[in-house]
Amino acid sequence: MPEREESHSAGKKVSGSELVARSLIKHGIDHFFNVVGIGIFPLVDAIHAQRDKIRYISALNETSVALIAEGYARASRTPAVVNVYHSSGTALSMMAVTIAWADHSPLILMSTTSSRKLNRRDQYAAVPRNITEMTDQYVKWNWEVPLAEKIPEAIERAITIATAPPMGPVHIAFPMDVYNELVDEAIIDSRHGISRRYDKFIADEAGIQEAVKLLSRSERPLIAAGAEIGQYNATDEVAELAELLGAPIVSEGNKSNFLPCSANHPLYLGQLNAIVDIAHDADTILVLGFDFTESGMPGAGRTPFRNTNQNIIQLSVDSASIGKQMIPNIGLVAHPAPTLKKLIEILKPKRVSIGEKKRKWAEDWTQKANKKSHEQLNNRRADPSKPELIEEVISGMMEKFGEKLIIVNHATSGGVYINVKELKHADQYYAISQKASAQGWGVPAAIGIQLANPNRKVLAVVGDGGFMFTAQALYTAARYDIPLTVVVLNNQGWGGGGYNPKIKDGMKGDLFLGGFRKKPINFAGLAKDMGVASVRLKSRRQIKAAIERLSSLKGPYLIEAIINPEILPKVRK
């Protein structure tokens, strides 16, 4: 017998499931998200054995648990690990994978799949081919781990790839028998688990110089700052640059998954969709890690960045995004924080003049943006001089929790009631991008965001239709006393987005289950029956007490705010 094998039989053995737990801990993973099932029990036992280092979080189905993990990954900007059951569980968790792809969350999906002896047969919880094929379109990398001894390598690769800019989801699969496979400690490569990465890469200096030249000459400069700025923590740099240039800032998408600067910055005008013409009016646009969703814009299919008589400077951590949605004059591939710092450093001594004309340009657009948001809000109030109940709930929460508050916006047409301008810091706000647009994200993601921010207060604002996609996720918050607050805007169903006229359209209305008028749902009652403290708000007299009640609660809270269903679909422009 060869010498090496002899030493194996004499050496200490470790099981595949222990290797998974050990490798996760080695990489600093401190939450394990899972729904259990046949094949996964040995792994859950191994995680449980390490419960002082890794917290086990479960949910009633894989859609919820994977969305909770996505929220955790998004907010912490660190990998979140979710392990799911065979074909069906992987299919249910795919919603989170599509969102993690769109919004670049470092989600690590692990499927437990058929044992190596039985795969590709029609057997228990069968998978027709490799389960990793399910995620092929959405992940940066996937791998079905062939041997238990490869587990440390698989986990290190998954974490490294998911977190390398641009961040995004990965998928690894474990045939269920690898959890019980015993491996000799001696053959496990101890190098795994110690890789450090330095990735704050700065753009080519020649490109930065070119950008400085164009920006300092510009009379109508605009900063289109996208989610990358918030995700890679370059929000202070964006604010400083805007001030140096006298340039207004617009953010991406309908809701912006990360804010690019504090929303109360005087140069922040809100989302580009609302004032898309500013992009046509600007002479130079600095496009920073920005994804725009054309279908949500006036004149869909027509890029707001024309690239004629206009200079476009595009910066992204993702080389594949340069030129994808617009063709820039200057494309910079780099991490935004050091690159913007360098840009500021070169620009500062130049003392770019912010003359009368330039100041007026920015002021005019600020006024237009403010007017537009006032109009939108007033159109969605029964009486323009009186805030709706939900607005008062949100402002009451802002008052009570101050800078500790984090708002998760998945309110569909009710998003207009969230006054982001009241938020002092970019890290007080999360939303799903239009690129991901997936009803049901809000509540479970907010649970994950609360887990990632145990000392903050998460307030999820959701529509009643969206809430019903994943309402049972709240049971996780109830069981683990996760103290988020959820506000459900009850407008009797799918109110905006063109659904309402269809729902009201006689017989056709019966086709759309999303109108809850015929059979109203009691959201506060539903929450209460799952063990979540709740209140149904019908009048403003109840608001103060409803918010005060939070002081005595340990776990989650649901506030159902009633609104006249006619209000939200009133304006649809």
- Contacts with Mg ion by CB under 5 A lie at 463-465, 491, 495
> How far are the Cα atoms of 41, 43, 323, 379, 445 from residue 19, in angstroms, in the given order?
15, 9, 43, 58, 28
For ligand TPP, the binding residue among 79, 496, 515, 556 (CB under 6 A) is 496
Asked if residue 568 binds ligand TPP (CB under 6 A), the reply is: yes
**By the 8 A CB rule, do 280 and 224 touch?**
no
Question: 259, 438, 445, 527: which one contacts ligand TPP (CB under 6 A)?
Answer: 438
Contact (Cβ atoms closer than 8 angstroms) between residue 273 and residue 296: yes
Residue 413 touches which of Mg ion, ligand TPP, none (Cβ within 5-8 Å per kind): ligand TPP
Residue 336 vs 448, nearer CB to ligand TPP: 448
Q: How near is the Cβ of 463 to Mg ion at its closest, in Å?
A: 4
How many residues of this chain bind ligand TPP (CB under 6 A)?
20
Contact between 169 and 109 under an 8 Å Cβ cutoff? The reply is yes
Cα separation, 439 vs 496, whole angstroms:
13
Coil, strand, or helix at residue 1?
coil
Q: Which residue is nearest to Mg ion (CB)?
A: 463
Residue 352 CB neighbours (<10 A): 18
Q: What is the DSSP letter of 188?
A: S
Contact with ligand TPP (CB under 6 A) among 16, 106, 296, 466: 466
Q: Does 253 bind ligand TPP (CB under 6 A)?
A: no
- Of the listed pieces 69-77, 136-144, 164-172, 412-420, which binds ligand TPP according to CB under 6 A? 412-420
114 lies in the site for ligand TPP, by CB under 6 A: no
463 scored as a contact of ligand TPP (CB under 6 A): yes
Task: Please state, in angstroms and as integers, the Cα–Cα distance from residue 269 to each residue in 251, 362, 405, 419, following that order.
Answer: 8, 10, 22, 13
Give the C-alpha separation, 105 to 253, whole Å. 17
* End-to-end CA, the chain: 78
Rg (C-alpha) for the chain, rounded Å, is 25
Q: What angle do CA 49, 192, 79 make, to 5 degrees?
A: 65
Based on the shown chain and the rule CB under 6 A, indicate whether residue 437 belongs to the binding site for ligand TPP.
Answer: yes
Based on the shown chain and the rule CB under 6 A, indicate whether residue 254 belongs to the binding site for ligand TPP: no
- Between 438 and 533, whose beta carbon lies closer to ligand TPP? 438
Closest of 487, 341, 518 to residue 408, by C-alpha: 487
Contact (Cβ atoms closer than 8 angstroms) between residue 95 and residue 66: yes
Q: How far is the CB of 288 from ligand TPP (least distance, A)?
A: 27
Give 497 or 531: the residue with its C-beta nearer to ligand TPP.
Answer: 497
149 lies in the site for ligand TPP, by CB under 6 A: no
Minimum distance from residue 346 beta carbon to ligand TPP (Å)? 43
Minimum Å gap between C-beta 60 and Mg ion is: 23
Q: How far is the CB of 131 from ligand TPP (least distance, A)?
A: 22
Judged by CB, which is closer to ligand TPP: 94, or 178? 94
Which of these ranges, 65-73, 99-107, 410-418, 519-527, lies near ligand TPP under the rule CB under 6 A?
410-418
Choose the one of ligand TPP, Mg ion, none that binds residue 437, judging by a C-beta under 5 to 8 angstroms depending on kind: ligand TPP
Q: Is 497 in the site for ligand TPP (CB under 6 A)?
A: yes
Helix H, strand E, coil C: the string for 102-116 is HHCCCEEEEEEECCC
Residue 11 tokens read as 């050496």
Instruction: By CB under 6 A, name the one of 106, 226, 331, 493 that touches ligand TPP.
Output: 493
515 binds, among Mg ion, ligand TPP, none (CB under 5 to 8 A by kind): none
DSSP category for residue 167: P
Q: Return the number of the residue (169 or 466) whose C-beta is nearest ligand TPP.
A: 466
Query: What is the smallest separation between the CB atom of 460 and Mg ion, expressed in angstroms?
Result: 14
Binding ligand TPP (rule: CB under 6 A), the pick from 15, 413, 428, 434 is 413
Using the rule CB under 6 A, give the single segment among 5-13, 288-296, 379-387, 463-471 that binds ligand TPP. Answer: 463-471
Judged by CB under 6 A, the stretch of 126-134, 331-339, 435-443, 540-548 that binds ligand TPP is: 435-443
Q: Measured at CB, which residue is nearest to ligand TPP?
A: 463
Shortest Å, Cβ 465 to Mg ion: 5
Residue 224 interacts with ligand TPP (CB under 6 A): yes or no: no
CB of 493 to Mg ion, least distance (A): 5
Question: What are 460's strand-pairing partners?
Answer: 408, 486
The three-state secondary structure class of 364 is helix
β-strand 457-463 against 485-490: which pairing, if any?
A: parallel
CA distances from 106 to 67, 71, 91, 258, 410 (A): 12, 10, 19, 15, 20
User: What type of residue sits at position 3?
Assistant: E
| Coil vs helix vs strand at 100 | helix
Concatenating the DSSP letter of every residue in 257-318 gives SB-SS-TT-TTEEEEGGGGTHHHHH-SEEEEES----GGGSSSTTS-S---SSSEEEEEES-
* Window of 177-185, 192-200, 431-439, 521-529 that interacts with ligand TPP by CB under 6 A: 431-439
Report the distance separating Cα 327 and Cα 325, nearest Å: 7
- Which of 227, 229, 268, 226 lies closest to 424 in space, CA to CA? 268
Tell whether residue 494 is a contact of ligand TPP (CB under 6 A): yes
d(CA 460, CA 443): 6
Taking the least distance from each CB to Mg ion, the nearer of 71 and 465 is 465
Residue from the set 75, 491, 524, 561 that interacts with ligand TPP by CB under 6 A: 491
Position 515 contacts ligand TPP (CB under 6 A):
no
The one segment of 83-91, 202-210, 438-446, 529-537 that binds ligand TPP by CB under 6 A? 438-446
Closest distance of CB 61 from ligand TPP, Å:
15
Binding site for ligand TPP (CB under 6 A): 412-414, 437-440, 463-466, 491, 493-497, 499, 514, 568
